[in-house]
Structure formats: structure tokens, C-alpha cells
Structure 1
Amino acid sequence: MDDERAAPTAVGAIEKAFARSTGHHQWICLSAPNGRFFVSAEIAKAYRTPELLKNRRAHIGETLRYMQGAVKISGYVGVPVDEEYVFSRNMGGMTNLAGKKILLIGCGTVGGFLAQHLALSGAGAGGGKLTLVDNDKLKGANLGRHLLGSPYLDRNKADGCADFLREQLPYLDITSIPRSIMNDTTVLRRQDLIIDATGEEALSIAINELAITARPAFPPVLFGWLEGNGAAAVAFMTGDPGLACFKCLKVELAGVPRFKLMRGDAKVETGRNLACGDAHFIPFPVSRAAVAAGLICDIALDWANGGGGHKWRSLTLDHDRAIQIKDSNPKRIDRCPACGNIE
């Protein structure tokens, strides 16, 4: 063995491994700050004699030093794929979502990509859990802008996304609820963070009402959606009693939004699926859904790091249809029918 080319402690470790065992092939793992390295040492066939392997095993280290070519040394580099490394490597000084109980409502166009963003940010790792909720099935019309592909057709979106993410990141604790969250709202209070990515105003209002009624025994709720034909992405974190709730963004159901992103002459275009019985849909590129997912995930990460940053954020993606509005922490509105009369 060439001691000069080996790690300082490798040679001694290999010699000790041979001395305390009966085999002629040994593995040593070297743990260093920059990785894991493995050394394989194998006694050449010509030296596998009873004299060497049995009678002189206690002095095998000294013996091997004087036998050129007696041991074949091979080196290997280990690639770290443990959850701590995977989910912390790209975070810099930020805390990831590991250890948190996060529930995502809506695994559609935005929610599907958001589920992946959350998982890659550590949701479901370190003793935490990521729960996905959706009552809809994946259809052929969804394939052009959804995380899931044709193998998941006719499967529930929450179940499909959970299976897909578990296959990609098997050490995450990801579960799914393939029905409306309104069928079992008790699960909401057991979370650290709730995210509503459905873009369905009626459902968002209902969840907002549950949150306000149960304060302070209710987790913060993060809402995210796309405006118009994906002209702008919006994310809004609620939960602070002194700041706006979801209903504060539009006090009157048919009224003007508090933050009117769409230009006055902009109209929402709808498309019609060719399949019989399919509903109208709002066309927009898949890139808009991915941007919205990223914006929502950013606020979730800020929450995990102490809640800094603005609670209401938007990204204008089509400047012909939408304007840019500064991010802010909107105050509660006294005449809000949801939170205005609550002290």
C-alpha cells in the first residue's frame, strides 16, 4: 500500500479491519466535511494463504507494508442524497419547510406545481407532513398545463400529485385527501400552515370565515391565485388580527377589488373544450401557473423564517392587461363583513 497517497487515517483503519476479521476484502468509510469517501481493500489471491490470513492476522498491517502489490486499493466517492442535504443545500441561510405540517388545498394548474415547490423546499421532511387536498380528477384537457401527465389520467389530482412526489422524493411524508376540504374542516386546525391555491373565491371566503371564527386557535392561511388570463399572480398571507383578512380584499362580493390589477379595458377570455359536457375554461400559458406557484412558495418560506416580508404580493405578467401594484401589508377594514366587527 502507498501510505503517501492515502488519507492520514485510512491505512491504519484498513489494517485494523483486516486484523479483527477473517475475510480478505474490507470496506472503510471516511467521513469528511466535503463528503463521504469509501476505500475498498482486497488482499491479492496470491497472498490469501492460511499463514497470512489466520496465523499472522494480528500482525497483518506490518506484513502488508512489506509486500508490494499484496493489497488492491480502490477509492469511491459517495454522493449525499439524505433529506437534510437535499432540502438545505440551496437555501443558503434560510430555513426550509421541514418539520412543518402544511396543508395545500387545490392541486390543479397552480396547486400541482406548488405542491412540487413545497416538497422541494422540505415540506414533509424532518418530521413534518405535507397534505394535499382536491376533489377533482385529472382530465385530458388538463395535460397541457399540469404537473401530472397521461399516466395519471382519470385519477384524483391530490392522490396523483402525492404519488408522483413520493416517487421522486421517497423520504417525504406526503398524504392526500381526495375530496372537498369542506367535508372535513377539523383537519384544518391540526396544521401549522394552510394554503388555498384553488382560485375559487367562494371556497376562499368559506375558509377565511372558518379562520376568523376560530381565532386564535387556527393556523395562518395563505391564498394564491392568477388574475385574468394569467395576467398577474397574487399571493396573500392572512392570520394577523391587525391586518386584512381575505374578505377585506373585496368587501362587497360584486364590488371592485381593493387592489385592482386588471386594466379597465381588459376582459377575461374564456375557452370552450371540444369534449361534450366539458365546462368553459380560462386559457393562459403554463408558465403563468409556475410563476404563481413560485410566488406562493416564497411567502411560505418567509413564514417559516419568521414571517418577514409583505403579506400581499403580486407579479404582473401581462402589462397590456394588468398594472403593477406595490406589495404591502394591507390593514383590516372596519366594514369588512368577516372581520370588521371582531375585536
Structure 2
Amino acid sequence: MAFLAIRASNGLFLCRASIPVAYRTKELLQTRRGNLHRTLTRIGSKISIERVNSAPADTEYIFDRYLEGSSTLPGKRILLIGCGTIGSFLAQQLAQCGAGSRDGELTLVDPDLLYPANLGRHLLGAPFLYENKANACAEFIMEQLPPLNIRPVANYAESVEIGPSLYDLVIDATGEEALSIALNHRAVKARPASPPFLFVWLEGNGAVAKSVLTGDLDHVCLKCLKPRLTQAPRHKTLKSAEDIIVERNAACGAGAYVPFPVSRSVGAAALACDHVPTAAQAIG
């Protein structure tokens, strides 16, 4: 059996040729290879030709099938910090937009493990329990989209070197205010050499999703939205009377958590994903 590929201006055509067993001998295929075309011509009526139907699956075909000008992530180097309730879904959406394709790279950073308490609002399921979230997300996404270059880092964000020569965009999806402020300080201190930073988080019990892109010297940074951590933000999105509900499973010793449905996690990830092309276009 042999395959023949013919490339034409309107596509690539494949056919499969089945040669009778009597003619698949070592003598014919190797010793008399120079006369093989004559032999095949002589037994042409005995050769079965079958057209092979296929579909393209290259990265250009998969990730460039969007509206004109919207596919901007192939070839970009993106650092995503946090692979939790927002970051895990965002990692998948970025990958589906082409992050990590061609000569680009999608780096996932998270030091935590996936616990049973996470399953209700996380991309991953039971097969990845007690595995590092960054490693597990990278494994899951690459299984779905093998051509991608995804690099997991099972460590804290402070351990990752950040610079314009390393990343085109840095995304903080941890939702941890202290870490976000620290990352923002890092970015502001390194201006104008720092890559753009995109922050995404939920407020209240998932009532509001926010996404803020920083990096332009003429615009605000994350700290400008809330100059003093002990005071209210400049622009409130929640009613003052609204209290955040915090619960705790005292029986199992788990830490406190803020309850909200998984749809809020996906919505926040989608908001940030829609924001990413703006940053990608800004960096060229």
C-alpha cells in the first residue's frame, strides 16, 4: 500500500494505491527499483486506487479561521499567572485563539494543587486531582490541541523573570489583590521596558467581572484604581450595602471561600480573552 499526494492551486489531493501482494517483494521494491514504474504500468489494471478524504489540521487553518484581523495570538509570547477558577478557563480560551502556536509560547504559572473543593468551578476534573494546576492545565490543553507550545511553571509568580524580551503580554488571573498590586508595582517600576499587564478578577460573590489592561504611560495603572488599599476604590461597582458572603467548611478543615457559580468564572475568563487582542495589537 502506498500514498500519493498531489498539491494543486485549489488544494492537496491524496490517494491510496493497493499493490497486489505478489508484487510487494524485496527484489521488485529494492533490487529492481529502477524499473518499478514500468512494472506498475504493466499491472495497472491490478492496482486499486482509492481517493483519501482528509481535512486540514495545521495551525494556520485551525487558528486563522476567525474574522479578518481578530486572530492576533499566533506567534505571541504570553505569560498567564494563575490557573485557578478564572485562569484555567482563560488558558483554554487563549489556546483556542492560537496562543502557543507557530513560534509563540503560552506560559502557565501556578504553585497550587487541584483539590476536590476546586472541581465545582475549574476547567479540570477528577483525573487531575492533587496535581499541580499549571502542569495539569498544560497537559489537558495540549491533549486537545497538540500543535501548541505550552510551558507550565509549578511555582510562585515571584520566581518568574518578566521582561519585554521574554513576554509580549503578562496576565494576572489570580484575583489576589496583594499579588496583583505587587505585579503592578513590578510593571510600573520597569516602565517603559515592561510588557503590558492585563489583570482580571471578580468582585463580590461573582457579581462583577473586571479586566484592566495597563502598560501605556499615558493611562492609569492598577494602583490608580485604588490608591490606598484600606480605602474604597475610585469607581465603585458594587452597592455599599452589599456584603460579600464568605463560607467555611469547618468540618473538613478547609479554608474560607467566596461562593459563586462557575458561570462567573467562565464569564470573567471570556472578558479577559476579549481584551487580549487589544493588547496583542498594541504590541504589534
- TM-score norm. by structure 1 comes to 0.73
- Whether the 8 Å contact between 2:247 and 2:258 is mirrored in structure 1 is yes
- Matched AA of 2:141: L
Percent identity of paired positions between Structure 1 and Structure 2: 47
Whole-angstrom distance in 1 between the partners of 2:176 and 2:203: 12
| C-alpha deviation, 1:92, in angstroms | 3.8
Asked if 1:186 is matched to 2:161, the reply is yes
- Matched AA of 1:224: V
In the alignment of these two chains, the number of paired residues is 279
Q: Counterpart of 1:98 in 2: which secondary structure? A: coil
Q: 1:141 aligns with which of 110, 117, 132?
A: 117
Asked if 1:296 is matched to 2:272, the reply is yes
1:153-302 correspondence runs (5 A): 153-182=129-158, 184-188=159-163, 190-302=166-278
Asked if 1:118 is matched to 2:94, the reply is yes
Match of 1:38 in 2: 14
- Matched AA of 2:272: I
Whole-angstrom distance in 2 between the partners of 1:58 and 1:135: 61
1:39-75 deviation per Cα after TM superposition (whole angstroms, max 9, x unaligned): 1234567999x9xx999866678767xx7x5442211
Whole-angstrom distance in 2 between the partners of 1:148 and 1:297: 19
- Whether the 8 Å contact between 1:94 and 1:305 is mirrored in structure 2 is no
- Matched AA of 1:86: I
Whole-angstrom distance in 2 between the partners of 1:33 and 1:290: 41
- Whether the 8 Å contact between 2:88 and 2:122 is mirrored in structure 1 is yes
Whole-angstrom distance in 2 between the partners of 1:266 and 1:55: 84
1:183-224 deviation per Cα after TM superposition (whole angstroms, max 9, x unaligned): x25345521110000111111111111111111111110000
Worse-superposed segment, 160-169 or 299-308:
299-308
- Whether the 8 Å contact between 2:88 and 2:123 is mirrored in structure 1 is yes
1:39-58 correspondence runs (5 A): 39-42=15-18
- Matched AA of 1:186: E
- Matched AA of 2:93: H
Larger RCO (CA under 8 A, 6+ residues apart): 2
Worse-superposed segment, 246-255 or 84-93:
84-93
- TM-score norm. by structure 2 comes to 0.87
- Matched AA of 2:265: A
